[in-house]
Chains A and B, each alone.
Chain A
Amino acid sequence: MDAVRLTNVTKSYGDHIAVNDLSLRVPAGAIYGFIGPNGSGKTTTLRMILHIIHPDSGSIEVLGEAATRAANDRIGYLPEERGLYKKMKVRDLLTYYAALKGVSGADARREGETWLERFDLTGNATRPVETLSKGMAQKVQFIATVLTRPELLILDEPFAGLDPVNHDALRLAILELARQGTTVIFSTHDMSMAEKMCDRIFMIFKGDKVLDGTLDSIQEAYGADTVRLRVGGDAGLLAEHPAVERVTDMGHYQEVRLSGDPQALLQSLVARTSVQLFEIARPSLNEIFVRIAGPEAQDAVATSAALADQVA
């Protein structure tokens, strides 16, 4: 059963097509990562799933409800830009947001206390939001989102601006909710986080779906054309090699994209310098993202779209 099903959805603002003929299925219980550059249509897609905005064409079914807001009470939404009433006290705010989802005050308070305790915020329950630190406010916003035990959790950049401790606390909370059966859709610019957490990944670029599938299937499609290597002496000679398409300096090693035979590269390197690391790998999600949306790929969108079709 799908928690979310988009079929041929298109949304445009004036002449600008924000989302173009998008079809997407998010299976129930999955953690689905939405990636894509800024302004590529992620937030528009999320808002359409919430029925905050309506598509020009196509259909959207969420938790079995088609084209109405009927399912919204069962969705928790954490928008990219946090929205809390500054003057309201934390507990009042949580109760209000829960009441808007149809949850009674008593239930909201009970559930709220549990979450406040979990995030070490119990002592702040009666403080106005404006007195909280940024990290605390962000946790409060997260609590407001999950307080109502939603079946579908939509998180737009949930980790932005969090310190490592809070980052971890939030990550564990999301994973736990997913284990309990909550479907999670989250958008992020943090590719390693997407790699670690997501069962499936969807990438949208300039309104078009360019990736959709498990990390494995996506990496499979991009092939094993990547070599991680470290050489003694000048790394600059890598770039001169005819088979090397691109070199990304990762600090401790270089990530190289090859068009030819890796063995030939190894042989030619060994002949000229000492090779300390040579690993044939699949491209990271970060690399794939840059290949699709990086400056050199901007004019090759069509190719990416074709690749996405293969993956799907």
Chain B
Amino acid sequence: MSKIRTVMFTEYLRAVRTKAFIIGVLLMPLMFGGGIIAMALAEQAKDTADRHFVVVDESGVLLPMLAAALDERNEQSLFEDDEQVDPRWVLEAYDPAASAERMDVALSDRIENKEILGFLVIGPDIVDPDGADRRLAWYTDTPTYDDLADWLGATINNELRRLRFTEAGLDGTLVDHLSARERVNTLGLASVNEQGEVSEAEESNMAATVAIPIGLAMLLFMLVMMSTPALMNNVLEEKMQKIAEVLVSSVSPFGLLLGKLLSAVLVSLTLAILYVGAILLFVHNVDQVPAAIVDAISPGVLAWFVFFMLMALLIYGSIFSALGAACSEIQDAQTLMMPAMMVLIIPMMFLGPIIKSPDGALATALSYFPPATPVVMFLRISMPPGAEWWEITVAIVVMVIFTLGCVLAASKIFRIGILSQGQTPSYRKLVGWLVSR
């Protein structure tokens, strides 16, 4: 035991004392937070250059209204605190006399010459709901800039509705009033406590119900990503530099593997304490943070987080250590690493559908798939509606058995691989090692 402890602490210190680790500690929140900040900055750093466009109004009734609405928009909603945040849109009515060419060709040329962003063609019969030509066609070579097209669509449709109601003898303003839209409020559940008092359902807070579990699941994934593939390099380095032989003459291969796995656990725990600690400090000390978020990071959720992190570290730590022991060269290691990495990122690939439907078929199935259980089951437990107790029990039992299997299989591959020389085995060969004596 004392030797395993020696390996664990020495490996831990070797890992956390490196510059790479310290940079990594600072870099990860920068990457996460930086991504969000960068997006916010990018949002602000909008291109506010004027956008010119042409309207070809074959109906002859919409253009004046459009021009008026645009003036109003350009005057009222371009600025925030005296700073221009959106580009000015400049409307130009189509002038048939300007070019001898066909209208669409002439205007397309102007788009190519960067004179205008696009042009809108409004069909002649657009006001009549049964009209033959009710085109509303936006021509552009920049379809990704859809703000203008969206605005044009919305504005014209509002006007059309008003016109069509008036045509039918109804008061457009009244219709607008009567067809006002109502917003859906998403609420949690009402419940009755032991005293029989009903506690009202609360408006569910998106940040608390979704963002916190997702954030923690991502953190869990990142911690596993940061420490377990590193084990592969660590083992491979020891093997390539012949340190392994000295080590296994003093410690059993299983003890060595266990010491390394535990050091990865320590490294991840260190990071988790740093990050989660920082988050807790933040949410408890900044008044603007809603109570729902403070409540969402509950001790229970954190306990699940640590438990699933531990399991994920043992699973992937074993796999990557074994692969490191099996290889003799870095290139081979990377080839062998690919499939393991693919399995590791499965929960991240399906994050969208899992969040959309935490008790759906996909999320349920993945939570029983041991390599994905830590992240998926953690999400299911920490996000409403939550998983049933028996589901959690079954998933955990399956996962723990799988984890033990991984550690035992890894110790066998590790024992054979760590002293082997020459060609890196295929996965088929590794299975051969597993069943060998």
Interface residues of A (CB under 8 A from B): 47, 50, 52-53, 69, 72-73, 75, 77, 79, 81-88, 96-97, 99-102, 144
Which of B2, B10, B246, B252 is close to A83, meaning CB atoms less than 8 Å apart?
Answer: B246
Q: Are A53 and B419 in contact (CB under 8 A)?
A: yes
CA distance A245 to B212 in the complex (A): 87
Q: A79: which B residues are within 8 A, CB to CB?
A: 242, 245-246, 249
Q: Are B248 and A84 in contact (CB under 8 A)?
A: no
Q: B245: which A residues are within 8 A, CB to CB?
A: 52, 77, 79, 81, 83
Kindly report which residue of chain A lies nearest to residue B243, judged by CB atoms. Answer: A83
CA distance A69 to B251 in the complex (A): 9
CB distance from A192 to the nearest CB of B (A): 27
CB 8 Å contact bits of B1-16 with A (1 = contact, 0 = none): 0110011001000100
Q: List 27 A-B contacts (CB under 8 A).
A: A47-B419, A52-B248, A52-B249, A52-B419, A72-B250, A73-B250, A77-B249, A79-B242, A79-B245, A79-B246, A81-B242, A82-B242, A83-B238, A83-B244, A83-B247, A84-B243, A85-B243, A86-B241, A96-B6, A97-B246, A99-B3, A100-B3, A100-B7, A100-B247, A101-B250, A102-B2, A144-B246
Kindly report which residue of chain B lies nearest to residue A105, judged by CB atoms. Answer: B6
With contacts A52-B419, A97-B246, A100-B3 known, is A83 near B251, CB below 8 A? no
Number of interface residues of B (CB under 8 A): 20
CA distance A199 to B252 in the complex (A): 32
Kindly report which residue of chain A lies nearest to residue B241, judged by CB atoms. Answer: A83
Q: Are B249 and A83 in contact (CB under 8 A)?
A: no
Kindly report which residue of chain A lies nearest to residue B418, judged by CB atoms. Answer: A52
Q: B7: which A residues are within 8 A, CB to CB?
A: 100
CB distance from B23 to the nearest CB of A (A): 16
Q: A99: which B residues are within 8 A, CB to CB?
A: 3, 6, 10
Q: Are B244 and A100 in contact (CB under 8 A)?
A: no
Q: Are A72 and B242 in contact (CB under 8 A)?
A: no
Q: B3: which A residues are within 8 A, CB to CB?
A: 99-100, 102
Q: Are B250 and A83 in contact (CB under 8 A)?
A: no
Q: Are B251 and A100 in contact (CB under 8 A)?
A: yes
In chain B between 1 and 41, which residues have their CB closer than 8 angstroms to a CB of chain A?
2-3, 6-7, 10, 14
CA distance A81 to B243 in the complex (A): 9
Kindly report which residue of chain A lies nearest to residue B248, judged by CB atoms. Answer: A52
Q: B243: which A residues are within 8 A, CB to CB?
A: 83-85
CA distance A53 to B2 in the complex (A): 23
Extra contacts, 17 of them, besides A100-B3, A100-B250, A102-B3 (Cβ < 8 A), are A50-B249, A52-B248, A52-B419, A53-B419, A72-B249, A77-B246, A83-B238, A83-B242, A83-B243, A83-B247, A85-B14, A85-B241, A88-B14, A96-B6, A99-B10, A100-B6, A100-B247
In chain B between 359 and 376, which residues have their CB closer than 8 angstroms to a CB of chain A?
none
Q: Please name the 3 residue pairs, one residue from A and one from B, whose CB atoms are nearest each other, closest first.
A: A83-B243, A83-B242, A100-B250
Output the residue of B242, B243, B247 with the most chain A CB within 10 A: B243
Output the residue of B10, B14, B244 with the most chain A CB within 10 A: B10
CA distance A29 to B245 in the complex (A): 25
Q: A47: which B residues are within 8 A, CB to CB?
A: 419
CA distance A84 to B419 in the complex (A): 16
Q: A81: which B residues are within 8 A, CB to CB?
A: 242, 245
Kindly report which residue of chain A lies nearest to residue B6, judged by CB atoms. Answer: A99
CB 8 Å contact bits of B217-257 with A (1 = contact, 0 = none): 00000000000000000000010011111111111100000
Kindly report which residue of chain A lies nearest to residue B11, judged by CB atoms. Answer: A96
Q: B251: which A residues are within 8 A, CB to CB?
A: 100
CA distance A241 to B251 in the complex (A): 60
